[in-house]
Amino acid sequence: MLNDRSSLLALLETRRSAKPREMVGPAPTPDELERMLAIAARSPDHGNMAPWRFVTIADDQRDALARLLHRTLAEEDPSATPAHYEKAEQFAHYSGALVVLVSAPVEDHKIPVWEQQLSCGAAGMNLLLAAHALGYVAGWVTGWQAYSKRVRAALCHPGERIAGFIFIGHPGTEIFERPRPLLERVWRAWSPPQELLKP
Ligand SMILES: Cc1cc2nc3c(=O)[nH]c(=O)nc-3n(C[C@H](O)[C@H](O)[C@H](O)COP(=O)(O)O)c2cc1C
């Protein structure tokens, strides 16, 4: 349990994603999943719009998801090979809980859609952190499934889009740290132009 600042920092400094295809069970319990989603819903959100949705796909709905992906491949990708169908089958049955993160921005609102999409990303990040804090790993993937019209229509309401499929379980293999960007590449101190240096 995280009860002090150093363990919170350790959590932030050690969280890593796992590859969903390598994940194993058990999945979070319903109570744990609800807790993770409640944490994800505590995300920065200009205008209190909650411009994101969490669509959970239960274990006994994974066959239906596989059917959806197969039918989508048949309709949208005539060049799909048996290997593509096999991959889709595996995707639908990856271990762990499956949360589809959905971006649900309101168009023509005073809060720009861009900001609403950023909030969705923050909700996804919080979900990854919550999973890690509860002793799980998570993996956020997109792939063609996230961009297919048919999959979108099956999982989203009109005007929504898929931000990612987030699988939450346990690592099936050791997960290695990936290279992180050097801070000097992503951090710079602002150099104001000369005219701003004078009062
Ligand atoms: C929006 C988004 C989409 C992603 N889509 C994929 C994907 O399709 N396939 C994949 O292997 N990883 C995908 N990833 C995960 C990253 O490739 C990578 O595994 C992850 O950022 C690892 O970093 P971490 O350990 O800091 O979480 C995605 C991540 C994000 C944020």
Q: How many Å lie between the centroid of ligand 1 and the Cα of residue 141?
A: 6
- Residue 21 CA to ligand 1 center (angstroms) comes to 13
Alpha helices in 20-112 (DSSP H): 30-40, 62-76, 82-92
pLDDT at 18: 97
Going by alpha carbons, the residue nearest to atom 29 of ligand 1 is: 140
DSSP percent split of the chain into helix, strand, coil, nearest 5: 45, 15, 40
Burial 159-194 (b: 16+ CB within 10 A, else e): ebebbbbbbbbebeeeeeeeeeeeeeeeeeeeeeee
Hey, what are 169's tokens?
A: 């379980």
Single pTM value for the model: 0.96
Q: For position 105, what pLDDT does the model report?
A: 98
Ligand 1 center from residue 22 Cα (angstroms): 14
- Evaluate whether 167 touches 94 at the Cβ level (below 8 Å): yes
Residue nearest atom 13 in ligand 1 by C-alpha distance: 141
Average pLDDT for consecutive 10-residue bins of the chain (199 residues)?
Answer: 80 96 97 98 98 98 98 97 98 98 97 98 98 98 98 98 98 94 97 95
| pLDDT the model gives residue 4 | 84
Q: What pLDDT is recorded for position 3?
A: 61
Report the nearest-CA residue for atom 19 of ligand 1. 17
Q: How far is 188 from 140, CA to CA, in rounded Å?
A: 29
Tell me what pLDDT residue 115 has.
98
What's the confidence (pLDDT) of residue 129?
A: 98
pLDDT of residue 114: 98
